[in-house]
Amino acid sequence: MGRLDGKVVLVTGAGQGIGQGVALAAAAEGASIIAAGRTLEKVEKTVEEVRSRGAQGLAVKCDVRRRDEVDVTVAAALTEFGRLDGLVNNAQMVSLGPVLEITEKDALRTWESGFLGSLWFMQAAYPALKESRGSVVNLGTGSALRNDLPGFTLYAGTKEMIRTLTRMAALEWGEDGIRVNACIPNGLSPGLQMWSEFSPQEYDDFVSTIPLGRVGRLEEDVGRAVAFLLSEDAAYVTGSTLMADGGQAYLR
């Protein structure tokens, strides 16, 4: 028996990295998975892995910046499975650089893919989540809590606004039985893996700031933490941020 048996969970940005780790962890706990992402081939591979674990899965091509595609994705989930119990907003385009070099294009793509994408999915999924008394988990970032990461203005700022959205929705939707939480992860994403190969000393310095001494595993460390928030084990947890980062960052 898994803690998500019988549940249906939609994960955005599920084609790789943390989103894929979350999808696989939720599937391992018995959930049926809707894997949404901009590249269909990637989310199809995630669904293949989901099915290999005995869970059901559906791959949907979706650009979270497009409200029409968001609505189609939620509708596809309901058509396929008849319900929706969990939503994980993980998709996010990343633009890095100094404040004075931020362009309008960078600002728009970061904001639209992060905050607006999360908002659109929460709005679209709300009726189904209200019916199932379901749960939302939004992904944040430790870069918003640390003072040694210059260049993260757009990314960190957008993620913090998503955490504000998380808290406000938790307050508004509590009476509907919908829980809304955030998770700040530290996982070995493709980008972090690439950084470790091209700048090994900088990467080692980064790892040295993690009290547990290692970067998190995508499924086992980050995915399971999110699965906990989606489950009935967290039935009395809402409006909170769970740090799944090995102790590297902390809320002030």
Question: So which residues are the catalytic ones?
Answer: 155
175 CB neighbour count, 10 Å cutoff: 8
Q: CB neighbours of 239 closer than 8 A, spacing ≥ 6?
A: 166, 167, 170, 171, 174, 180, 181
CB 155, CB 141: distance < 8 Å: yes
Burial class (CB in 10 A: 0-12, 13-18, 19+), 124: buried
Which two three-digit tokens encode residue 9? 């969970």
144 CB neighbour count, 10 Å cutoff: 21
CA distance 179 to 169: 9
